[in-house]
Amino acid sequence: MFSEGKITTFFRKQSIICQKKVFDLSTPKLMGILNLTEDSFYDGGKHSEYSQSILKAQSLINQGTDILDIGACSTRPGAKLIEAKEEIKKILPVLKEIRKQFPDIIISIDTVWSEVTRAVIDNGADIINDISGGEFDSQMLKTVGELKVPYVLTHYKDKPEYKNHIIEISQYFSQKINTLYDYGTKDIILDLGFGFGKTIEDNYLLLARQKEFQIFNLPILTGISRKSMIYKTLNTSADKALNGTSFLHAFALENGANILRVHDVSEAKECIELFNLYKKHKQL
């Protein structure tokens, strides 16, 4: 397909395997964000204590999130990574309690470390969401393959310098996908990495052309919730970016998003409900 890889999948993948069950992605799903960090760009520190974390998780699940995405290290651009052992110490108590209370919820862990990956999968997590695409830990892609767990492959780049966004990101995905397949990973979800090594203009170009990445026949995750591409454009703050987020979610869905990664589950659920009705009548 591209000069830096070969893709052998020829059908549109509409599901992944979680908890030995088929998780259907033929209609859009929600990934609710649970930050256990002190310094996340939007809700850092709000849910860093154990009791706060559990209450927030319960709220997200009760609002109807399909996947709970737990992160213990801020992945905002410029944030300092924490060591794997510290991350494990923060995540495991929360993960174990959530799994106990909600045995059927799909749990994703936002981490860049293979050591964390092994620990969380051993304790009930289902998906690994790695914003680095395996760039920060040379063992990450191999570890995911060994564990046979779904993996969110994010496009990562240090600096926003592109000659051709679509070709360069496609080549990146092609290479990484083939590496993951070679290691034994069966279920891959693509994330264009909005905000990671992209200017505001880059982000909007990719959102508008997101559907072109369906060429890989893999589910697409869109993570734009309350990001700077919204609040900087509107000259406001992340706290006031919900309306802009909802507006852009409609375009993300129209342009092929299978999963929306969100801070605000109820509002995003409404977006999906309205979009599904719109799509139904658009196809008539």
The residues, any chain, with a CB within 8 Å of residue 145's CB and separated by 6 or more, are 180, 182, 183, 184, 185
Residue 227: active-site member: yes
Strand partners, 69: 33, 108
What is the Cβ-side half-sphere exposure of residue 8, based on CA atoms within 13 angstroms? Answer: 6
What's the distance, CA 79 to chain centroid? Answer: 18
The Cα 168–Cα 157 span in angstroms is: 11
DSSP-derived secondary structure letter, 16 = E
Helix (H, G, I), strand (E, B) or coil at 67: strand
- Of the listed 176, 261, 269, 279, which one is catalytic? 261
Q: At what angle do helices 50-63 and 265-282 cross, to 10 degrees?
A: 20
DSSP-derived secondary structure letter, 82 = P
- Of the listed 186, 227, 232, 280, which one is catalytic? 227
30 neighbors 265 (Cβ within 8 angstroms)? yes
Residues with catalytic function: 227, 261
